[in-house]
Each structure stands twice: as structure tokens, then as C-alpha cells.
């Protein structure tokens, strides 16, 4: 197990502040105008809920819908990923299906480490978008191309195993803070939340995390 000096503790208050400041710094609402939030289970749950409330205030009181996807990464040589939960997109046979037509879809996770999970999520969503696009064309229905974006609380500045589309990285990749290879301990991982908060406050005094500039890739 890594020793204490290689850990960064993040408190609930710090998490909230990072997300709020990122929305403001990147001008996320104006530049991306999200209409649908997708949380990656389970690290994306709380950041997504906080983000929705902040966006709600920015756009004047409208709560955005939240969908959830579950992905399991097996740390084998192939780094295989399996879906444990996914969004229904079969508009013809499922009344609960989600239409991506014209949506600005923001995928949220707590950390971009190897980028394997995020890359898989984007790739699979693009496949679902293609299916809906083809059905619309077959039915001569109007199709407005959706946009995909990614929001992560922390990006680890380490070698990635996978990539995201270049246009997404340039225009709709939103990062709260850049960190190194440290082990990030989030508040939902804590048993003693008071002790965790104390450790987070101490980390805040000693660690200098960097906020990406608006034009950083």
C-alpha cells in the first residue's frame, strides 16, 4: 500500500469548490451548453450531482437529466472493459429509451487516470449515436448531430493507455485540477469523515495542484 506522502485527500468542501470553480473558469455552460449528464459509476455519481446543481443555477433553474453508465475495468494485459449498466437507446421498442438527437452530452467521472474507461465510454456512445442517426435517416426524420464532452475532477498527468477524439479534447474536455501519479482519496472512500477532512486540509497546505488554463488540451 502506498505510504501517506503519496496520497492526496480531497474533502467534500474542496470537491464542491473544484467543480464550481471549473464551471466558472472554463465557462462550461456557454461553451458547451450541456443538455444531458452521464455519470460513470461509481466515482462520477457525486461530482455529477454537484455539477447539475451548479449548472442549474447558471442557466436559471432548470435541472438537467442524469443518466448512469457502469463500466468494469479488468486489469489484465488487454485492460478489458465490460458494461455493467448502460443507457437504453432503442427508441422503437423502449419507452424509457434516451434520444441523443441534438443533445449536448457531458460524461462525468472523478478522475482521468489511464483514460481507458473514458475512451471506451465515448466510443460506445458514438456507436449508439450512429444507430440513432441511421434510423432517423431511414425514416426521413430531422437529425441534429449531438456533441460529446467529458468532465473530470482530476486529470493525472501520466502516460495514458487510450485516447479521446481530438475535437473533444480541444473543445469539450473539462478538467478541475491536474495532479501527478498520486493516490487520490475522495471523501466517499472515508470511514472517519472528520479525520479525512483534517487530512484533506493538511494536503491543501502542502500540495500545489494545478488548474488547467482554458486553452490547455
Q: Enumerate the H helices of 139-187 as residue ranges.
A: 166-171
The DSSP 8-state label assigned to residue 38 in this structure reads E
Closest alpha carbon to 129 in 153, 169, 157, 98 = 98
Render the burial of 177-216: b for 16+ CB within 10 Å, e for the rest.
bebeebebbbbeebeeeeebbebbeebbeeeebeebeeee
Model confidence over 117-132: pLDDT tens digits?
Answer: 999 999 999 999 999 9
Model confidence over 86-102: pLDDT tens digits?
Answer: 999 999 999 999 999 99
Alpha-carbon distance of 212 to 99, in angstroms, equals 32
Query: Whole-model pTM?
Result: 0.92
Q: With residue 195 as reference, give the H or E element that holds it.
A: helix 193-206
CATH node for 4-206: 3.40.50.2020
Amino acid at each position: 500500500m502506498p505510504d501517506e506522502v503519496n496520497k492526496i485527500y480531497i474533502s467534500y468542501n474542496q470537491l464542491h469548490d473544484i467543480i464550481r470553480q471549473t464551471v466558472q473558469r472554463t465557462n462550461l455552460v456557454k461553451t458547451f451548453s450541456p443538455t444531458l449528464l452521464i455519470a460513470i459509476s461509481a466515482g462520477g455519481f457525486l461530482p455529477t450531482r454537484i455539477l447539475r446543481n451548479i449548472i442549474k443555477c447558471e442557466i436559471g433553474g432548470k435541472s438537467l437529466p442524469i443518466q448512469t453508465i457502469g463500466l468494469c475495468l479488468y486489469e489484465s494485459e488487454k485492460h478489458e472493459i465490460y458494461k455493467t449498466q448502460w443507457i437504453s437507446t432503442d427508441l422503437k421498442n423502449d419507452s424509457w429509451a434516451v434520444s441523443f438527437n441534438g443533445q449536448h452530452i457531458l460524461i462525468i467521472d472523478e478522475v482521468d487516470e489511464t483514460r481507458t474507461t473514458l475512451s471506451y465510454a465515448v466510443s460506445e456512445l458514438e456507436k449508439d449515436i450512429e444507430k440513432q442517426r441511421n434510423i432517423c435517416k431511414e425514416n426521413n426524420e430531422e437529425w441534429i448531430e449531438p456533441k460529446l464532452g467529458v468532465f473530470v475532477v482530476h486529470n493525472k498527468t501520466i502516460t495514458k493507455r487510450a485516447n479521446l477524439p481530438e475535437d473533444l479534447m480541444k473543445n469539450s474536455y473539462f478538467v478541475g485540477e491536474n495532479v501527478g501519479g498520486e493516490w487520490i482519496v475522495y471523501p466517499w472512500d472515508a470511514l472517519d469523515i472528520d479525520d479525512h477532512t483534517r487530512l484533506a486540509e493538511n494536503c491543501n497546505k502542502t500540495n500545489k495542484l494545478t488548474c488547467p488554463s482554458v486553452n490547455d488540451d
